[in-house]
Amino acid sequence: MRIRTLFLSTVAPSLLMAQQAAFDRNIVPKLPASARLVLPTVTQSRLANGVPVQLVTQTEVPLVQVTLTIDGGSRLDQVSPGRASFTTRMLLEGAGSRDANALQSELAFLGANLSANASWDSFIISLNVPKRSLGAALDLMADLVQRPTFKSADVRRQRDLRAAAILQRRDQAGAVASLAFNSIVFPKAHPYHAPGDGDSATTAKLDSASVRAFYQTAFVPDRAKFVVAGDITDAEVQTALGSRFGNWISSGTGVTMPTVTARAVANAGNRVFLIDKPGAAQSVLAIGGPGVARSSPDYAALVVMNTLLGASFSSRLNTNLRETKGYTYGASSRFNWLPTPGAFQIGTQVRTDVTDSSLIEVFKELRAIRDAPASAVEIARSKAYVALSIPGDFETVGQIAAQLVDVNQFGMPLSSVSDFIARVNAVTAADVQRVARKYLPLNRATIVVVGDLLKIRPGIEALKLGPVTTLDAATVAK
């Protein structure tokens, strides 16, 4: 919220008259030069125990965002899928002298928003709070990170709730498609193979002892980093965090971060996986394969290529499947940029009777972007859409912190955002075609379809895309 004084202005009549003079509506208004992106200044420091702190001071709103990230996350699960995210969730169920009710009602009373989540690669504890409640909220955050209680009764209760949520994944065709896609594209030993929230069997095994043991090895200060954004000075941050986190020491021996050797599966040819959802009005399609490392020199070209292919309303996939054919409410594609290369995936939900036709169109687009260079207009539009929208990602303190957390996970400075814009602006049609050829999984795609197989199987098989395997929804979302 920005509080400013009311600006009253009187428009000069002469200006109005001039503007209302005859003009040609057919002429598209010229865009003035865009404001150059001015990135916020990041102040770096360390707490007494060595935990790095990055600060962006932004005094406009009396709010502070504090994000603690700890390297690790679900990739530490290995044989116990779901344990990392469950342990992180359990931080909110009691810490220090407070039980879950006391902890969460106190946070709500302070107007604080505190969340604890595990991604595949890190634990993220995020606090957004009015500046005057910062101290009280940080006391709670410090308890939660350093002194969680993990009482048996609380673990049991959250485990039951999670078991019910896992059961409900079967209801969602999209969730089933995505579980199947990840389990196929990422082989068993890969950290992204299993869902972050585990499955029914692994959930049933969670107990207080295993959660505490995992916590002690995973929530360690030597892999932690603070990002702070908002109405706060460097000195204030040092005091606020230093007194609460400066003495934080490992409660156990930190687990060695597993080295990821497994690679996403690059198919020799297309492979089709069908999952039945009897009576479904639509089929969910997930089509893709291995993604690309964020450090790739082709990163900017890939972002532009993907924007053109499926990451904007005017992209080719959406234009074809939605705006030309009317098969869907939307079609899109994405590269999942993660510390370990994620996946490339096209996603759409299409009317049951055009499932096969939709697959034809998706592959037509995958071929077209490889076979011919995109037009200059299309390239310019995609580049501008990516580069010019970046200032809008720095509007709130939460967004500023999120931008820092994002570059941090790849070990890059915030200035890489400016470098990225320069790289995007340098992308050519030839670059786009080259990266499309190099990375898009044409003829080696993993194709997952969740729908009414009685109606859609014959059409899909007739396409002869590749070998067809039928999977069971209850097994995929087990």
Partner 1 sequence: MKLCRTLVAIATLALPLVGHAQAQRLRVPFTLDTLPNGLTLIVHEDHSVPIVTTNVWYHVGSGDEKPGRTGFAHLFEHLMFMGSDHAQYPQFDRLLEAAGADNNGSTTEDRTNYYEAGPSSALELMIWLEADRMGWLLGGMDKPKVDLQRDVVKNERRQSYENQPYGMVGDITPVLMYPAGHPYSWPVIGSMADLSAASVDDVKDFFRRYYAPNNATIVIAGDVDVATVRALVRKYFGEIPRGPAIERPTPAPFVVRDTVVTLEDRVQLPRLYLNWHTVRSMDNDAPALQVASYILSGSRTSRLTQALVYNAELATNVQTYNDGKRLDGDFNIIATARPGNALDTLQTIIEAELAKLITDGPSARELEQARNAVEASFLRGIQTVGGKADQLNAYYYETGNPDGFQNDLDQLRAVTAADVQRVVRTYLQGPRVTISVVPQGKTTLAATRRKVIP
Which residues from 153-182 bind partner 1, rule CB under 8 A? Answer: 157, 160-161, 164-165, 167-168, 170-173
Q: Which is nearer to partner 1, 323 or 461 (CB)?
A: 323
Taking the complex as a whole, the smallest distance from the CB of residue 477 to partner 1 amounts, in Å, to 10
Taking the complex as a whole, the smallest distance from the CB of residue 251 to partner 1 amounts, in Å, to 26
Q: Binding of partner 1 at residue 392 (CB under 8 A)?
A: yes
Q: Binding of partner 1 at residue 104 (CB under 8 A)?
A: yes
Q: Binding of partner 1 at residue 13 (CB under 8 A)?
A: no
Q: Do residues 163 and 228 touch, judged by C-beta distance below 8 A?
A: no
> Contact region for partner 1 (CB under 8 A) — 143-151, 391-399, 434-442, 455-463?
391-399
Residue from 85, 267, 306, 349 touching partner 1 (CB under 8 A): that is 349
Q: Do residues 21 and 9 touch, judged by C-beta distance below 8 A?
A: no
Q: Which is nearer to partner 1, 70 or 166 (CB)?
A: 166
> Contact region for partner 1 (CB under 8 A) — 20-28, 144-152, 268-276, 338-346?
20-28
Residue from 380, 426, 430, 454 touching partner 1 (CB under 8 A): that is 380
Q: Which is nearer to partner 1, 130 or 373 (CB)?
A: 130
Sheet holding 468-471, edge to edge: 328-335, 343-351, 282-290, 446-451, 271-276, 468-471
> Contact region for partner 1 (CB under 8 A) — 83-91, 394-402, 406-414, 434-442?
394-402
Binders of partner 1 among residues 27 to 46 (CB under 8 A) are 28-35
| C-alpha span between 410 and 279 (Å, rounded) | 44
Residue from 4, 41, 253, 256 touching partner 1 (CB under 8 A): that is 4
Q: Binding of partner 1 at residue 353 (CB under 8 A)?
A: no
Q: Which is nearer to partner 1, 101 or 415 (CB)?
A: 101
Q: Binding of partner 1 at residue 65 (CB under 8 A)?
A: yes
Q: Binding of partner 1 at residue 1 (CB under 8 A)?
A: yes
Note the maximum CA span of the chain.
78
Q: Binding of partner 1 at residue 100 (CB under 8 A)?
A: yes
Q: Which is nearer to partner 1, 100 or 442 (CB)?
A: 100
Read off the tokens for 35: 């404001």
| C-alpha span between 152 and 249 (Å, rounded) | 24
Q: Which is nearer to partner 1, 9 or 253 (CB)?
A: 9
Q: Binding of partner 1 at residue 8 (CB under 8 A)?
A: yes
Taking the complex as a whole, the smallest distance from the CB of residue 356 to partner 1 amounts, in Å, to 16
Q: Which is nearer to partner 1, 48 or 165 (CB)?
A: 165
Q: Which is nearer to partner 1, 128 or 340 (CB)?
A: 128
Residue from 79, 261, 395, 462 touching partner 1 (CB under 8 A): that is 395
Q: Which is nearer to partner 1, 330 or 467 (CB)?
A: 330
Q: Binding of partner 1 at residue 119 (CB under 8 A)?
A: no
Q: Binding of partner 1 at residue 201 (CB under 8 A)?
A: no
Taking the complex as a whole, the smallest distance from the CB of residue 230 to partner 1 amounts, in Å, to 9
Binders of partner 1 among residues 280 to 309 (CB under 8 A) are 280-282
Residue from 327, 337, 344, 363 touching partner 1 (CB under 8 A): that is 327
Count residues binding partner 1 (CB under 8 A): 96
